[in-house]
A and B are shown apart, each in its own frame.
Chain A
Amino acid sequence: MIKAILIFNNHGKPRLSKFYEHYSEDTEQQIIRETFHLVSKRDENVCNFLEGGMLIGGSDNKLIYRHYATLYFVFCVDSSESELGILDLIQVFVETLDKCFENVCELDLIFHVDKVHNILAEMVMGGMVLETNMNEIITQVDAQNKMEKSEVRIFDHENSQSPSYI
């Protein structure tokens, strides 16, 4: 199971946080801070695994992370996940983002959090890996976006015709 997925930048500003177990707001913030603290001080040429220990309950858990330009992608997983498999998944995630946003950069993640969440939802569901095939993910995300777009058009149209709330 994946316990949490965090994205933050080099300064520790969270860009996306998805917890698959419930924590209070404060704990979540604390976890993000601590994770950043742990991950950021590691060299570039050391391995991508970190034993999270007490971060998200239990010593069974590991942090698996990757560093891309200004962003850290951190997955917190338990022992049922393969370390390399998750590394691969992060790669797929980033490549998918790259395809969806065309040359993704930090700003994309800031302004389109909802879209990032939607993409993530196609890959990981409730802490379990749903799909690892990038093409499949992109197809589904595109189909949904298209549908949303067409709806929004009708929707705006309707509302401008008859403002129902007056």
Chain B
Amino acid sequence: MALKIVKGSIDRMFDKNLQDLVRGIRNHKEDEAKYISTCIDEIKQELKQDNIAVKANAVCKLTYVRSLSTLPFSCNTLFCCTRIGYLAASQCFHESTDVIMLTTNQIRKDLSSPNQYDTGVALTGLSCFVTPDLARDLANDIMTLMSHTKPYIRKKAVLIMYKVFLKYPESLRPAFPRLKEKLEDPDPGVQSAAVNVICELARRNPKNYLSLAPLFFKLMTSSTNNWVLIKIIKLFGALTPLEPRLGKKLIEPLTNLIHSSDSELIVPLSCIAVLISLSSGMPNHSASHVVCVIVKYLGLLAMSKILKTHPKSVQSHKDLILQCLDDKDESIRLRALDLLYGMVSKKNLMEIVKKLMLHVDKAEGTTYRDELLTKIIDICSQSNYQYITNFEWYISILVELTRLEGTRHGHLIASQMLDVAIRVKAIRAFAVAQMATLLDNAHLLTGNTQRNGICEVLYAAAWICGEFSEHLENPLQTLEAMLRPKVATLPGHIQAVYVQNAAKLFATVLRSQEGNTDSTTAQETSQLMIDRLPLFVQSANLEVQERASCILQLVKYIQKLQQKDVEVAEEVSALFAGELNPVAPKAQKKVPVPEGLDLDAWINEPPSESESEDEKPKAIFTKEEPKHSRPRHTEVDEKELARRREARKQEQANNPFYIKASPSSQKVYQETPGVEHIPVVQIDLSVPLKVPGLPMSDQYVKLEEERRQKERAEKKKKEKKKRKEKRSGRGKKHDSGPESEEDITPAHMVDIVTEEMPEVGRILHVCVCRPLADSEKLPVRSHRPTEAPKSPAEDGDTESAAPQEPKKKSSKEKKEKKKDKDKDRKVRLKEKHFQHLNMVCDIQGNLQDGSQVVVSVIFENKCNSFLKSMEFNVLDSLNSKLQRPEGAGPHDGLTVPFQLPPGVSNEARFVFTVQSIVMPQKLKGTLTFIVKNEDSSTHEKLDFKLHFTCTSYLITTPCYSDAFAKLLESGDLKGSSVRLEGVNMPFHHLLARICFHHHFSVVERIDSCASMYSRSIQGHHVCLLVKTADQTVSIDAKCDEPSLLGNVLDEIKQTFSQC
């Protein structure tokens, strides 16, 4: 034995601590992984030991190595272990970690620890892994902590509430008043935490917090904490768009803040950011002139904010912003790019893009170049190519971009090419010519096989050439280019497009050649196809293979026909006849249901229940008449849609971040248009001058200028004419003025495929302005065993509530007693409403001590006066006594350890000793308190009754089915039973109700039969067998104390009679 002890301690001496572990890892530079894995094995061994110190050390090391996924808390009373435990948990736990479910009680215990740091550490840990369940269970505990005496705890509790709100939105409304109250907390830390939380909340849904504006206004002018100032200013930034008057009011204090010399650079800058968003053209762009990079960056950031409201004032700084593109700092360049995006107009698009193209050439680093490329495309394509006046220019820009080396965005360019070629009809001939050149020079693009993102462009090129092959000048040449052996090195999906479009080209070529007298050329073309296609038939890509072999056979057949001198061109081109139209993503909805098709009718009648109805289906099918097919159908559709929308709204209402759909957002179902009515706006326009050869986009800039000048001249001419005509009539005339945006007519128009707007955005959909409903109170989970509470005496010592000044004057109401059993879901929660004071109490058995019951009472001050010197007294019965501090007489009251300012609530706990728990009982009590007004104070008294039900002596205790069976077999238990009629709720609800209200746990459940178990604080076993059939529930119960059982059953019966 002694030897063992020695051995044990020696073993421990050689245990590694964290330092050793780190040192070890550093010494094993070569085989780090191996060393770590051996360490982990050691740690596992250590975790299995009973010694808590060894365990803590192991956990600490694990945190360092970060290899574990689950870990039970080190359930210990020592702070150092708790701290390590929570640190480990905060690093490793996340929402899907299973063990979290087991931690609720441990966390609750730590939260109510008398040591502020235990609580603090628990809060910090919790903030990292709070789950919806934890949030729901602990919300109430955290609420209580928000009015803790220590500011250290208060600020943490306030901060963590945000996380709780996120996971459990229902808690926001009940908690909000207290949160608001914390804005005026005497401790600046708590204040800042509250501001922090409200700012985060307001970011989701600023509307809710408008009412707080005056309060924040006061804080802003009084606070000296920079952090708080920044947050408040940010908050105002979110609020001002909603309330324009606020903006006017803010300008003065904000400018004051800017000028105040003592605050650092931070605050003025944030001020600028907000001022900008609300100012009407204040000259504050000077910020961007400052050399300091940070300011430059922030200046650009601020500019992007001005841009949204005052685009004109930013546009004048275009040159400055373009300069920023030359900055060596990538962040600044990216910001500048962002700004450019918002600055373009029809007038300056070409110029800006030209500059950007220059930058593309100069730019180093592929990421930045890619960013430039996407921005160019974004800028040009924004809002349906709104700013592009000449699409030939755009195509040539795209073609120029293909010369970029090693970009990832080939597919982006490709999709733009396709989009433009399809939607701008006038441009097709030009686009096809360009694409043909691209195909011809494909080797240039594919040359560098490693970074071949750009070869995606060939996909578009091939498709455009194929689809619009009638515009090709020399289709045969292009066909040949597409069938080069080199093509086989391209990615599969591009090859597939090549093959398919080669077939289209082939059809075009045939048609042109068959017109000629010489039939051999046509046959040669077929031969070309037959020669080249086998290359693709052997491709590894299935799609290429499939298409190639299909087309190869087709061509072979054509060749056969050709040899017989049959004209085939017409038939071949019929294969690809018809035009492909762009279709909006939501166009499907607009396709009318064909005549005679009823989507609501059953295609196959669902199997009927009884045989006798079998003749029916026939009738139903014949009944299907055209008259009820469409008009009625759309109506049904609409109803159905509305219903679904409603359901979705309901769902969104429960989602904290969803906003309500604006009433106008949904388009009404249109009258049934034909397929042609899919909204494709087609406008053909004056075709611009043709630029031969490979175009340079620059040429277009010049051409565009010329075109505009010409147009202007024409317009002037026209106007002159008009004027001339008018001059004879009236002398009045108006100047045409400088060229405005709208005057610039585009050279090409895009087919605009209309799309519906996205339906809704998201904001926090919890209104905090409405008064609280009863059902919204945070659940006070009473069925879980909690820590032994502090005795009231201790309470008195530790909790001396921070004195707060009473503010409002009182009214002289008389209290009236209105005692009720609370009939909502928490049966045991009894509320007593009075005019002054509201008391809610919750009674719990004490697991550790069989003769103790803890009553937690929440006092809420409902009046406008200050309540103080509250004294709580209960008339003891023989059976149950209020625990009073030593030395106090049996009839003395207990002082409630806090005072209540108006509207504030707080919780106190009282301990009762109970002798026998078999009977429920009621205790009469009184609460005396002083109502203090500005000028007077009155003494008031309040009578109440405490109802100790037998259920409150029960404690949820899990039980295994074998132990349960043994217990029943033992025969010590007396039986009793009860029947409940007319209970129409699902069985699992019924069970959940019993579990929740009466502290039972389910041992086993088979279909509509379940066994349940609970234990009283004095160790009585209570077993239930619950069966249900046709709204009747029978409960057979067994317990070693028949009268306790009888009372519990009565209470269960009562629970169900109330619902």
Is B227 within 8 A of A47, CB to CB?
A: no
Q: What 0/1 readout, one digit per residue, does chain A (149-166) give for beta carbons within 8 Å of chain B?
A: 001100110011001111
Is B227 within 8 A of A132, CB to CB?
A: yes
Q: What 0/1 readout, one digit per residue, does chain A (114-141) give for beta carbons within 8 Å of chain B?
A: 1001100100011111111100100010
Q: What 0/1 readout, one digit per residue, does chain B (537-575) give for beta carbons within 8 Å of chain A?
A: 000000000000000000000000000000000000000
Partner of B4, one of A47, A51, A127, A166: A166
Q: What 0/1 readout, one digit per residue, does chain B (94-136) give for beta carbons within 8 Å of chain A?
A: 1100000000000000000001010011011001101000000
Q: Is A25 an interface residue (CB 8 A)?
A: yes
Is A114 within 8 A of B63, CB to CB?
A: yes
Smallest Cβ-Cβ distance to B26: which chain A residue: A110
Assuming the A-B contacts A43-B328, A88-B226, A129-B196, are A151 and B80 also in contact, with contact meaning beta carbons closer than 8 angstroms in the complex? yes
Q: What 0/1 readout, one digit per residue, does chain B (75-97) give for beta carbons within 8 Å of chain A?
A: 00011100110010011001100
Partner of A165, one of B18, B49, B83: B49
Q: Name the distance in Å between A45's Cβ and chain B's nearest Cβ.
A: 7
Q: Name the distance in Å between B876's Cβ and chain A's nearest Cβ.
A: 40
Q: Name the distance in Å between A14's Cβ and chain B's nearest Cβ.
A: 10
Q: What 0/1 readout, one digit per residue, does chain A (58-90) give for beta carbons within 8 Å of chain B?
A: 000000000000000000000010111101100
Q: Is A113 an interface residue (CB 8 A)?
A: yes
Assuming the A-B contacts A85-B226, A151-B80, are A46 and B128 also in contact, with contact meaning beta carbons closer than 8 angstroms in the complex? no
**Cα-based distance from A20 to B196 in the complex (angstroms):** 16
Pick from A87, A113, A164 the residue with the most CB of B within 10 Å: A113
**Cα-based distance from A1 to B162 in the complex (angstroms):** 11
Is B199 within 8 A of A80, CB to CB?
A: yes
Question: A51 contacts which chain B residues (CB < 8 A)?
Answer: 331, 334
Is A118 within 8 A of B83, CB to CB?
A: yes
Count of B interface residues, CB-CB < 8 Å: 75
Q: How many A-B residue pairs have CB under 8 A?
A: 163
Is B200 within 8 A of A47, CB to CB?
A: no
Q: Name the distance in Å between B120's Cβ and chain A's nearest Cβ.
A: 8
**Cα-based distance from A165 to B115 in the complex (angstroms):** 28
Is A47 within 8 A of B266, CB to CB?
A: no
Question: B227 contacts which chain A residues (CB < 8 A)?
Answer: 85, 129, 132
Question: B128 contacts which chain A residues (CB < 8 A)?
Answer: 20, 126
Is B80 within 8 A of A160, CB to CB?
A: no
Assuming the A-B contacts A114-B87, A163-B51, are A45 and B293 also in contact, with contact meaning beta carbons closer than 8 angstroms in the complex? yes
Question: A20 contacts which chain B residues (CB < 8 A)?
Answer: 128
Q: Is B462 an interface residue (CB 8 A)?
A: no
Question: A50 contacts which chain B residues (CB < 8 A)?
Answer: 330-331
Q: Is A33 an interface residue (CB 8 A)?
A: no
Partner of A125, one of B156, B231, B301: B156
Question: A121 contacts which chain B residues (CB < 8 A)?
Answer: 87, 90, 121, 124
Is B87 within 8 A of A143, CB to CB?
A: no
Q: Is B997 an interface residue (CB 8 A)?
A: no
Is A130 within 8 A of B226, CB to CB?
A: no
**Cα-based distance from A20 to B296 in the complex (angstroms):** 30
Is A140 within 8 A of B66, CB to CB?
A: no
Is B5 within 8 A of A84, CB to CB?
A: no
Question: A166 contacts which chain B residues (CB < 8 A)?
Answer: 1, 4-5, 8
Is B189 within 8 A of A128, CB to CB?
A: no
Is A148 within 8 A of B79, CB to CB?
A: yes
Q: Name the distance in Å between A154's Cβ and chain B's nearest Cβ.
A: 8
Is B9 within 8 A of A160, CB to CB?
A: yes
Q: What 0/1 readout, one digit per residue, does chain B (279-321) give for beta carbons within 8 Å of chain A?
A: 0000000000000011011100100000000000000000000
Q: Is B160 an interface residue (CB 8 A)?
A: yes
Is A49 within 8 A of B331, CB to CB?
A: yes
In the complex, which range does the number of interface residues on chain A fall in? Answer: 35 or more
Q: Is B155 an interface residue (CB 8 A)?
A: yes
Per the 8 Å Cβ criterion, residues 664-722 of B in contact with A are none
Partner of B94, one of A22, A128, A165: A22
Partner of A133, one of B1, B64, B189, B203: B189
**Cα-based distance from A159 to B264 in the complex (angstroms):** 53
Q: Is B888 an interface residue (CB 8 A)?
A: no
**Cα-based distance from A42 to B331 in the complex (angstroms):** 10
**Cα-based distance from A71 to B297 in the complex (angstroms):** 24
Is A85 within 8 A of B156, CB to CB?
A: no
Q: Is B269 an interface residue (CB 8 A)?
A: yes
Is A125 within 8 A of B5, CB to CB?
A: no
Question: A45 contacts which chain B residues (CB < 8 A)?
Answer: 293
Partner of B79, one of A1, A18, A128, A144: A144
Assuming the A-B contacts A133-B189, A156-B53, are A110 and B22 also in contact, with contact meaning beta carbons closer than 8 angstroms in the complex? yes
Per the 8 Å Cβ criterion, residues 1-19 of B in contact with A are 1, 4-5, 8-9, 18-19
Q: Is B755 an interface residue (CB 8 A)?
A: no
Question: B162 contacts which chain A residues (CB < 8 A)?
Answer: 126, 128
Is A132 within 8 A of B60, CB to CB?
A: no
Question: B50 contacts which chain A residues (CB < 8 A)?
Answer: 164-165
**Cα-based distance from A111 to B84 in the complex (angstroms):** 15
Question: A164 contacts which chain B residues (CB < 8 A)?
Answer: 50-51
Pick from B1, B8, B230 the residue with the most CB of A within 10 Å: B230
Assuming the A-B contacts A144-B83, A165-B50, are A126 and B160 also in contact, with contact meaning beta carbons closer than 8 angstroms in the complex? yes
Q: Name the distance in Å between B996's Cβ and chain A's nearest Cβ.
A: 29
Question: B90 contacts which chain A residues (CB < 8 A)?
Answer: 121
Pick from A42, A82, A113, A133 the residue with the most CB of B within 10 Å: A82
Is B200 within 8 A of A80, CB to CB?
A: yes
Is A159 within 8 A of B53, CB to CB?
A: yes
Question: B294 contacts which chain A residues (CB < 8 A)?
Answer: 47-49, 83-84, 87
Partner of B156, one of A46, A47, A80, A130: A130
Question: B123 contacts which chain A residues (CB < 8 A)?
Answer: 125
Is A113 within 8 A of B64, CB to CB?
A: yes
Q: Name the distance in Å between A148's Cβ and chain B's nearest Cβ.
A: 4
**Cα-based distance from A131 to B121 in the complex (angstroms):** 15
Question: B334 contacts which chain A residues (CB < 8 A)?
Answer: 51
Is A130 within 8 A of B159, CB to CB?
A: yes
Pick from B95, B156, B265 the residue with the most CB of A within 10 Å: B156
**Cα-based distance from A125 to B79 in the complex (angstroms):** 19
**Cα-based distance from A121 to B84 in the complex (angstroms):** 12
Is B266 within 8 A of A84, CB to CB?
A: yes
Q: Is B239 an interface residue (CB 8 A)?
A: no
Q: Is B329 an interface residue (CB 8 A)?
A: yes
5 contacts between A and B (CB under 8 A): A20-B128, A51-B331, A132-B225, A140-B152, A148-B79
Beyond A46-B328, A88-B226, A126-B163, 16 additional pairs, beta carbon < 8 A: A20-B128, A47-B294, A51-B334, A80-B200, A85-B226, A111-B22, A121-B124, A125-B124, A126-B162, A128-B159, A129-B192, A130-B159, A133-B189, A163-B9, A164-B51, A166-B5
Which 3 residue pairs of A and B lie closest in terms of their CB atoms, listed nearest first?
A126-B127, A22-B94, A165-B50
